[in-house]
Chains A and B, each alone.
Chain A
Amino acid sequence: QLQLQESGPGLVKPSETLSLTCTVSGDSISSSTYNWGWIRQPPGEGPEWIGSVHESGRTYYNPSLKSRATISLDTSKNQFSLKLSSVTAADTAVYFCARDRGGSYSYFDSWGQGTLVTVSS
């Protein structure tokens, strides 16, 4: 059974870099044909896709966040990570990692429980 679990600091100071890791069990991210993605959801709002990474290492980003987001794989630990630089209060959200089916017209078929990240001094 596929499981994803986010981990990382729950509090980040403005202008610093948010760093989160997603640990995957039940599937190998290095042999999967899927992409692996990050999505965030500000309190009371709809989800916003941040970006996804393919097992080849190729990345895809939301144009609105592309300049600040970096997603990478660590196949030895079956993990993938998100770094979001120069954060502000607007980056406060619950951050989810998810499996992205990839290809045209794709969707997210399995999600982690999410982790709340607050940006505040």
Chain B
Amino acid sequence: SYVLTQPPSVSVAPGRTANVTCGGHNIANKRVHWYQQKPGQAPVLVIFYDNYRPSGIPERFSGSNSGNTATLTVSGVEAGDEAVYFCQVWDNSADSYVFGSGTKVTVL
């Protein structure tokens, strides 16, 4: 089955840029979606189809996808961005959705 690999944690100072990676074999051939999950809350979609933002998501959130790595970028990080971020794709070979294990973004 298809595996998505994320770093367990990323730390960033307020106002700086956080990059969260999601690795997968030829992931550029898939469409990657990103979710933000704060403690005790449901995940919220922040990026879909690699780099599209749902209504209400700040422009500070962006995405890219190339080769074997997709990246979620949060620019001008704020304290409220502290959360766990998951990536997700559709695995054609298994006909199944796959999620990454998540990256905790800590705002210093």
Measuring CB to CB, which residues of chain A are less than 8 angstroms from any residue of chain B? 45-49, 60, 62-63, 96, 104-114
Contact = CB atoms under 8 A, between A and B. Distances in A.
B43 interface: yes
In the A-B complex, the 3 residue pairs with the smallest Cβ-Cβ separation, listed nearest first, are A105-B31, A49-B97, A107-B33
A103 to B, nearest CB: 9
Given A105-B31, A108-B45, A112-B42, A46 B96 contact: no
A107 B88 contact: yes
Contact of A105 (B30, B44, B45, B86): B30
Interface in B6-65: 30-31, 33, 35, 41-45, 48-49, 54
Contacts of A106: 90, 97
Question: What size tier do the contact residues of chain B reach?
Answer: 20 to 34
A111 B42 contact: yes
Contacts, number: 54
Given A105-B30, A109-B45, A111-B43, 12 more contacts: A45-B101, A47-B35, A47-B99, A63-B95, A96-B42, A104-B90, A105-B90, A107-B33, A107-B48, A109-B54, A112-B42, A113-B42
Nearest to B54: A109
Contacts of A108: 33, 35, 43, 45, 88
Given A45-B101, A107-B88, A112-B42, A63 B49 contact: no
A23 to B, nearest CB: 15
A96 to B, nearest CB: 6
- The A interface is mostly helix, strand or loop, or mixed, namely loop
Interface of B: 30-31, 33, 35, 41-45, 48-49, 54, 86, 88-90, 92, 94-102
A48 B96 CA distance: 10
Contacts of B92: 104
B45 A107 contact: yes
A49 B96 contact: yes
